[in-house]
Structure 1
Amino acid sequence: MRLHRNLVFATIDSLHLIFNEGKQADKVLKNTLKLDKRWGSRDRGFIAETTYDIVRWKRLYAEIADVNEPFDRTNLFRLFTVWATLRGIKIPDWPQFESTPTRRIKGRFDELSKIRKIRESIPDWLDEVGSKELGKKWDKELAALNQLAPVVLRVNTLKSNVLEVKNQLADLDVETTAAKGVPNALVLKERSNVFTTDAFKNGWFEVQDANSQKVAIMLDAKPGQRIIDACAGAGGKSLHIAEMMENKGQLISLDIYESKLKELKRRAKRNGAFNIETRVIDTTKVIKKLHGTADKVLIDAPCSGLGVLKRNPDTKWKMQPDFLDRIRTLQQQLLRDYSKMVKEDGEFMYATCSILPSENELQVKEFLASEEGATFEIKKENKVSPSATGFDGFYMALMKRKKK
Structure 2
Amino acid sequence: MKLHRGLAEAVILALEDIFIKNRQADKVVEKVLKSNKKWGARDRAFIASNTYEMVRWWRMILYCDGFDVIGNHYNMWRLFGVWQVLKPIHFKLDTASELPGWSELADIDVTFVSDKYTEAMGIRKIAQSVPDWLDETGLKELGSVWDREIAAMNQEAPLVLRVNTLKTTVIDVRKIFGVEETELVDNVPDAVMLKKRQNVSLRDSFKMGYFEVQDAGSQLIAPFLDLRPGLSVIDACAGAGGKSLHIASLMENQGSVLALDVESRKLEELEFRAKRNGTDILRTRWISSDKTIKELTESADRLLLDVPCSGLGVLRRNPDTKWKLKPKFLESIRMVQWDILSKYCEMVKVGGKMVYATCSILPSESEDQVKRFIDAYGAEWKLIKEHRTAPYMDGFDGFYMALMEKY
- Contact (CA 8 Å) 2:15, 2:76: kept in 1 or not? yes
Deviation at 1:84, TM superposition (A): 1.1
**1:153 aligned onto 2:151:** no
Q: Of 87, 99, 113, which residue of structure 1 is paired with 2:121?
A: 113
- Contact (CA 8 Å) 1:56, 1:121: kept in 2 or not? yes
| Distance of 1:390 and 1:265 partners within structure 2 | 31
**1:299 partner SS:** strand
Could you say which residue in structure 1 is the equivalent of 2:93? Answer: none
- Contact (CA 8 Å) 1:19, 1:70: kept in 2 or not? no
**1:369 aligned onto 2:375:** yes
**1:83 partner SS:** helix
Deviation at 1:76, TM superposition (A): 1.1
Paired residue type of 1:309: L
| Distance of 1:263 and 1:93 partners within structure 2 | 47
Paired residue type of 1:55: V
Could you say which residue in structure 1 is the equivalent of 2:143? Answer: 135
**1:269 aligned onto 2:288:** no
| Distance of 1:69 and 1:351 partners within structure 2 | 32
Q: Of 207, 218, 222, which residue of structure 1 is paired with 2:213?
A: 207
Deviations 1:155-181 (A, max 9, x none): 10011101100011118xx81101111
| Distance of 1:267 and 1:26 partners within structure 2 | 20
- Contact (CA 8 Å) 1:303, 1:352: kept in 2 or not? yes
**1:33 partner SS:** helix
Q: Name the stretch that deviates more: 224-233 or 59-68.
A: 59-68
**1:330 aligned onto 2:336:** yes
Could you say which residue in structure 1 is the equivalent of 2:392? Answer: 387
Could you say which residue in structure 2 is the equivalent of 1:44? Answer: 44
State how many pairs are aligned. Answer: 398
Could you say which residue in structure 2 is the equivalent of 1:168? Answer: 176
**1:237 aligned onto 2:243:** yes
Deviation at 1:99, TM superposition (A): 2.1
Q: Name the stretch that deviates more: 189-198 or 143-152.
A: 189-198
Unpaired runs of at least 5, structure 2: 89-95
Paired residue type of 2:271: K
Could you say which residue in structure 2 is the equivalent of 1:64? Answer: 64
Deviation at 1:41, TM superposition (A): 2.0
| Distance of 2:221 and 2:344 partners within structure 1 | 18
| Distance of 2:248 and 2:218 partners within structure 1 | 15
Q: Name the stretch that deviates more: 228-237 or 44-53.
A: 44-53
- Once the two structures are superposed, the pairs formed by residues 51-130 of structure 1 within 5 Å of their partners are 51-67=51-67, 69-70=70-71, 72=73, 75-86=75-86, 87=88, 88-130=96-138
Deviation at 1:4, TM superposition (A): 1.3
**1:232 partner SS:** coil
- Contact (CA 8 Å) 1:81, 1:102: kept in 2 or not? no
Could you say which residue in structure 1 is the equivalent of 2:348? Answer: 342
What's the C-alpha RMSD, in Å, of the aligned pairs?
A: 1.3
**1:258 aligned onto 2:264:** yes
Could you say which residue in structure 2 is the equivalent of 1:17? Answer: 17
- Once the two structures are superposed, the pairs formed by residues 296-335 of structure 1 within 5 Å of their partners are 296-335=302-341
Q: Structure 1 residues 52, 4: CA separation in 2 closer, same or farther (over 3 Å shift)?
A: same
Deviation at 1:69, TM superposition (A): 4.8
| Distance of 2:150 and 2:60 partners within structure 1 | 14
Paired residue type of 1:3: L
Paired residue type of 1:20: I
Could you say which residue in structure 1 is the equivalent of 2:401? Answer: 396
Deviation at 1:225, TM superposition (A): 0.6
| Distance of 2:272 and 2:162 partners within structure 1 | 17
**2:317 partner SS:** coil
**1:182 aligned onto 2:188:** yes
| Distance of 1:142 and 1:24 partners within structure 2 | 21
Deviations 1:85-106 (A, max 9, x none): 1222221111221122222222
Paired residue type of 2:400: Y
Deviations 1:59-95 (A, max 9, x none): 000010124554656x212221222112222211112
| Distance of 2:103 and 2:182 partners within structure 1 | 43
Could you say which residue in structure 1 is the equivalent of 2:292? Answer: 286
| Distance of 2:45 and 2:207 partners within structure 1 | 21
Paired residue type of 1:64: C
- Contact (CA 8 Å) 2:59, 2:70: kept in 1 or not? no
- Contact (CA 8 Å) 1:16, 1:71: kept in 2 or not? no
| Distance of 1:111 and 1:309 partners within structure 2 | 25
| Distance of 1:11 and 1:268 partners within structure 2 | 35
Unpaired runs of at least 5, structure 1: none
**1:279 partner SS:** strand
Could you say which residue in structure 1 is the equivalent of 2:8? Answer: 8
- Contact (CA 8 Å) 1:287, 1:341: kept in 2 or not? yes
Deviation at 1:285, TM superposition (A): 1.5
Scaled by the length of structure 2, the TM-score of the pair is 0.95
- Contact (CA 8 Å) 2:66, 2:116: kept in 1 or not? no
Q: Name the stretch that deviates more: 41-50 or 128-137.
A: 41-50
Deviation at 1:321, TM superposition (A): 0.7
Q: Which runs of 4+ in 1 moved over 6 A?
A: none
